[in-house]
């Protein structure tokens, strides 16, 4: 055919499922896909999730990172690949190994890829190899294990040629953490280097701002402030309680804790560190009372108060200060407030452990320039080493692109029994059936609303692996067997394509016709259900009436015990026998009517009549089901999964039998037909056979077919005497006289 662009490329189409689909025979077909009318593409987009496909290849194809692969992205990938290979024919091999001879030397892209492929192989010690595989580029740590510079902008410590620079890199890693180099080693990049030296400068600037006002005790100021911080909340609480007692003397006693509070401690094993004691005031509460520092202090806080006295009170208020007034307390907080503000503004704390001398030497020296030079040297190789990612990209396209095209441009994988379409996720085993057309589903309710248009019977199952605590939802297409044996809550087993087994439970059903066999038996099943329902209804009504009558007799005043049922005698027995006779007569009459209708017919006509009767009941259901099965379409199911299917994907009866298989005994199996645990129905069967025999004999007798073998008195139609026949005597004609013969002498 001639394409829209005027190209003379000849396409070949194959027909499956009533659909003409383009056949990708060789690399030329793939290369000319941009010229194929998109109305002839089976799909126009597909999701990147829920597919049995290489996820890294999907990530490379999804250039706009929207979670979908569209036609322009596929065409761009084909063009990118064609610019680097001599031919696209190797794509049809779907191999993860690419021969170096397949790389094009006529294009700059191909030449660059060939050079990088050879360098990768050389780094792996395979410089003489004639091909490169996806496994060769999958582990970048192995590729760069023996290289210091690889273009990722990260340098490990051993990349430095001198010990001082290696020490600086180690110090940066200790302060800000490491970045992993392509070789797998810890290293630093420019961002971490800049952050380290900025922190060093900030810390040095912060330390230089400290003066006598900030450090009233010099280096001991930090210890004094820490001791004050340990008791700050408790001291504020104490002086506030004393001020309340000064406001109202009645508050002193309850604020010091009541007798009941102390009594609650009496039954406990008391220690100075008991948390219950910590909640008590720091000391006895009284109006305007100073805090004693040496005695009368809450035992829980006595050690902290002693440390506070030694580290803060004595240096700032004098060693002879044994009590602390409210004014003294405010004075101490005011003297240490500048230090606290300065501490809160601390910068560069990440590098403080190195000390000011080491940091000053690093900031003043050439350490930053040395590390930056190493990073720049490594980054200079970025453009060259970025080609390694392109080598991996080409290898993934070489291995997987043709598979995606045969699930996108056409659906060859769907209609190939030996292949597996990328949207199929496993096989569901349930109800002696194996359903292999299963799809990944995110939202069962939303999916079912769209997938119902497929006219397929769908079973939505929640699958779980308790050991791994994994849960997923799948949609299984049921295309064989009966639908009434499936219901919400039924359990089965699901095997994914990795061989892992999952517990499966049906959570939602979309009922549709499954098979012609089901359609044949469905009317009879409904008829049997209706009859059994009516029988149960009548029996239930009789039982309820009997129970009501029994209850009335019991509740009635002076009720007498019910008498045992009397044996049927006389008229009762006769009426019962008459009823049985009438029933047998009706059955015999019905069977007799059928027998009479076919009595004079040949055997083949009788058989044909029985077949006609079966078709009369099951025929309409089978015809309707046939039309419904002809309308089954996989496209709505895929559209509900996120695909944009461009054409109808007919699910034929033959294909349906392949996707759902029913249990069958293996070839050459032996069967033991006698069931040792079967119920003994011999009496019931004998009664049924006897009743049928009586009905058949009665029918044959009523039809007169047994008259030839029965005596005259038992014949249904005794023979009638032949009608009288009037015999008319023939008229006598006169005969002429015969002359007498003369006597012989």
- 561/110: higher pLDDT: 110
Q: Which of 460, 519, 383 is nearest to 640 (CA)?
A: 460
**Does residue 341 sit in the same domain as residue 397?**
no
For the segment 198-211, what is each residue's pLDDT rounded down to a tens digit?
999 999 999 888 88
Backbone angles phi, psi at 327, to 5 degrees: -70, -40
The residue with tokens 């582990």 is: 139
The size of the chain, in residues, is 745
**Does residue 253 sit in the same domain as residue 176?**
yes
Domain membership of residue 135 (yes or no) is yes
Q: Check residue 543 and give its pLDDT.
A: 83
Q: Which residues of 586-600 are buried (b: 16+ CB within 10 A; e: fewer)?
A: ebbeebbeebeeeee
Q: Check residue 1 and give its pLDDT.
A: 41
**Does residue 366 sit in the same domain as residue 389?**
no
Strand partners, 433: 430, 662
Q: Which of 517, 512, 519 is nearest to 617 (CA)?
A: 519
pLDDT score of 574 more than 50: no
Q: Check residue 489 and give its pLDDT.
A: 94
Domain membership of residue 495 (yes or no) is no
- 282/702: higher pLDDT: 282
Strand partners, 132: 98
Domain membership of residue 223 (yes or no) is yes
Q: Check residue 725 and give its pLDDT.
A: 55
pLDDT score of 366 more than 70: yes
pLDDT band at 482 (very low <50, low <70, confident <90, very high): confident
Domain membership of residue 590 (yes or no) is no
pLDDT band at 745 (very low <50, low <70, confident <90, very high): very low
Q: Which of 656, 745, 138, 712 is nearest to 437 (CA)?
A: 656
Q: Check residue 580 and give its pLDDT.
A: 45
pLDDT score of 178 more than 50: yes
For the segment 537-554, what is each residue's pLDDT rounded down to a tens digit?
887 887 888 888 888 777
**Does residue 161 sit in the same domain as residue 191?**
yes
Q: Which of 221, 142, 212 is nearest to 183 (CA)?
A: 142
Q: Check residue 642 and give its pLDDT.
A: 93
**Does residue 354 sit in the same domain as residue 400?**
no
pLDDT score of 741 more than 60: no
**Does residue 202 sit in the same domain as residue 345?**
yes
- 69/120: higher pLDDT: 69
Per-residue pLDDT, averaged over 518-536, amounts to 76
Domain membership of residue 689 (yes or no) is no
What is the percentage of the chain residues whose pLDDT exceeds 70? 84
Q: Which of 100, 41, 93, 110 is nearest to 69 (CA)?
A: 41
Q: Where is the domain boundary, 336, 365, 380?
A: 380
**Does residue 130 sit in the same domain as residue 158?**
no
pLDDT band at 212 (very low <50, low <70, confident <90, very high): confident
Per-residue pLDDT, averaged over 484-497, amounts to 93
For the segment 441-463, what is each residue's pLDDT rounded down to a tens digit?
999 999 999 999 999 999 999 99
- What's the domain range around 134? 13-145+383-405
For the segment 628-658, what is each residue's pLDDT rounded down to a tens digit?
788 899 999 999 999 999 999 988 888 888 8
DSSP 716: S
DSSP 575: H
Contact 125, 136 (CB under 8 A): no
Count up the domains in the chain and report the number: 2
**Does residue 346 sit in the same domain as residue 295?**
yes
Q: Where is the domain boundary, 345, 380, 415?
A: 380
**How is residue 323 written in tokens?**
């009590």
Q: Check residue 571 and give its pLDDT.
A: 46
Chain-wide mean pLDDT for the chain? 83
- 9/389: higher pLDDT: 9
For the segment 147-158, what is each residue's pLDDT rounded down to a tens digit?
677 777 888 888
Q: Check residue 701 and give its pLDDT.
A: 73
**Does residue 292 sit in the same domain as residue 398?**
no
**Does residue 240 sit in the same domain as residue 374?**
yes
For the segment 342-360, what is each residue's pLDDT rounded down to a tens digit?
999 889 889 988 888 999 9
DSSP 711: -
Per-residue pLDDT, averaged over 705-711, amounts to 72
Domain membership of residue 421 (yes or no) is no
Q: Where is the domain boundary, 364, 380, 396?
A: 380
pLDDT band at 140 (very low <50, low <70, confident <90, very high): low
Terminal CA-CA length for the chain: 129
- 681/81: higher pLDDT: 81
What is the percentage of the chain residues whose pLDDT exceeds 90? 42
Between the alpha carbon of residue 194 and those of residues 208, 352, 359, 362, 491, the distances in Å are 21, 16, 14, 13, 60
Separation of alpha carbons 505 and 495, rounded Å: 13
In terms of average pLDDT, the best of 78-92, 249-263, 619-633 is 78-92
Domain membership of residue 655 (yes or no) is no
- 590/530: higher pLDDT: 530
Domain membership of residue 167 (yes or no) is yes
Task: Give the strand pairing for 155-156 and 97-99.
Answer: unpaired
**Does residue 191 sit in the same domain as residue 83?**
no
pLDDT score of 136 more than 80: yes
- In 50-138, at which residue ranges do the beta strands (DSSP E only) sit? 68-70, 97-99, 131-133
Q: Which of 162-166, 304-308, 702-706 has the weakest average pLDDT?
A: 702-706
**Rounded CA Rg of the chain:** 51
pLDDT band at 531 (very low <50, low <70, confident <90, very high): confident
pLDDT score of 395 more than 90: yes
For the segment 248-263, what is each residue's pLDDT rounded down to a tens digit?
888 888 888 888 888 8
| This model's pTM is above 0.75 | no
**Does residue 368 sit in the same domain as residue 388?**
no
**DSSP string across 4-64:** TT---PPP-EEEETTEEEE---SHHHHHTGGGS-GGG-SEEEEESSS-SS-HHHHHHH-TT
């Amino acid at each position: 055919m001639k394409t829209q662009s005027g190209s003379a490329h000849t396409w070949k189409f194959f027909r499956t499922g009533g659909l003409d689909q383009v056949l990708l025979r060789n690399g030329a077909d793939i290369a000319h896909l941009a010229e194929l009318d998109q109305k002839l593409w089976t799909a126009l987009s597909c999701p990147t999730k829920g597919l049995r496909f290489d996820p890294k290849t999907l990530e490379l194809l999804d250039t706009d990172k929207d979670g979908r692969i569209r036609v322009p992205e596929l065409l761009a990938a084909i063009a990118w690949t064609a610019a680097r290979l001599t031919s696209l024919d190797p794509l049809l091999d779907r191999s993860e190994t690419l021969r170096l001879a397949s790389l094009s030397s006529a294009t700059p892209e191909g030449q660059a890829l060939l050079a990088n492929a050879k360098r990768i192989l050389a780094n792996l010690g395979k410089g003489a190899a004639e091909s490169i595989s996806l496994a060769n580029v999958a582990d970048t740590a192995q590729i760069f294990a023996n290289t210091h510079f690889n273009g990722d902008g990260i340098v490990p410590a051993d990349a430095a040629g001198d010990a001082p620079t290696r020490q600086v890199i180690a110090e940066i890693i200790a302060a800000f953490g490491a970045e992993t180099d392509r070789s797998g080693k810890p290293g630093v990049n420019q961002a971490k280097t800049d952050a380290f030296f900025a922190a060093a400068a900030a810390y040095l600037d912060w330390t230089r701002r400290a003066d006598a006002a900030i450090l009233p005790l010099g280096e001991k100021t930090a210890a004094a402030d820490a001791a004050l911080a340990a008791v700050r909340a408790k001291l504020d609480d104490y002086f506030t309680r004393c001020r309340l007692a000064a406001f109202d003397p009645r508050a002193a006693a309850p604020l010091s804790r009541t007798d009941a509070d102390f009594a609650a401690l009496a039954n406990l094993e008391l220690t100075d560190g008991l948390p219950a004691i910590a909640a008590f005031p720091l000391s006895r509460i009284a109006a305007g009372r100073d805090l004693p520092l040496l005695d009368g202090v809450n035992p829980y806080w006595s050690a902290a108060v002693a440390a506070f006295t030694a580290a803060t009170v004595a240096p700032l208020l004098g060693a002879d200060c044994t009590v602390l007034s409210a004014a003294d307390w405010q004075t101490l907080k005011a003297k240490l407030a500048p230090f606290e503000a300065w501490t809160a503004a601390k910068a560069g704390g990440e590098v403080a452990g190195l000390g000011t001398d080491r940091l000053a030497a690093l900031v003043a020296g050439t350490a930053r320039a040395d590390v930056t030079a190493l990073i720049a040297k490594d980054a200079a190789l970025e453009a060259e080493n970025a080609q390694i990612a392109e080598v991996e990209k080409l290898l993934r396209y070489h291995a997987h692109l043709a598979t995606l095209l045969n699930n996108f441009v056409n659906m060859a994988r769907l209609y190939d029994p030996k292949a597996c379409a990328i949207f199929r996720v496993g096989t569901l085993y349930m109800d002696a059936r194996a359903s292999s057309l299963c799809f990944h589903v995110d939202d069962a309710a939303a999916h079912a609303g769209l997938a119902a248009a497929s006219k397929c019977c769908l079973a939505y199952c929640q699958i779980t692996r308790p050991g791994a605590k994994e849960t997923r939802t799948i949609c299984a297409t049921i295309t064989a067997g009966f639908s009434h044996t499936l219901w919400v809550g039924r359990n089965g087993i699901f095997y994914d394509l990795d061989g892992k087994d999952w517990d499966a439970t049906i959570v939602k059903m979309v009922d549709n016709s499954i098979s012609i066999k089901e359609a044949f038996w469905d009317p009879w099943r409904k008829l049997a259900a209706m009859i059994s329902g009516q029988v149960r209804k009548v029996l239930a009504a009789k039982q309820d009436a009997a129970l009501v009558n029994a209850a009335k007799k019991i509740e009635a005043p002076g009720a007498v015990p019910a008498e045992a049922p009397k044996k049927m005698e006389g008229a009762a027995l006769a009426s019962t026998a008459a009823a049985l006779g009438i029933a047998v007569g009706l059955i015999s009459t019905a069977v007799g009517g059928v027998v009479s209708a076919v009595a004079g017919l040949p055997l083949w006509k009788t058989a044909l009549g029985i077949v006609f009767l079966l078709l009369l009941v099951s025929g309409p259901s089978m015809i309707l089901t046939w039309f419904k099965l002809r309308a089954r379409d996989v496209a709505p199911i895929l559209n509900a999964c996120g695909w944009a299917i461009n054409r109808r994907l007919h699910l034929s009866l033959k294909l349906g039998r392949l996707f759902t298989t029913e249990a069958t005994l293996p070839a050459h199996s032996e069967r033991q037909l006698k069931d040792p645990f079967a119920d003994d129905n011999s009496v019931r069967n004998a009664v049924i056979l006897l009743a049928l025999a009586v009905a058949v004999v009665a029918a044959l007798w009523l039809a007169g077919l047994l008259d030839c073998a029965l005596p005259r008195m038992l014949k249904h139609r005794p023979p009638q005497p032949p009608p009288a026949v009037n015999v008319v005597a023939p008229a006598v004609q006169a005969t002429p006289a015969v002359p007498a013969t003369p006597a012989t002498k």
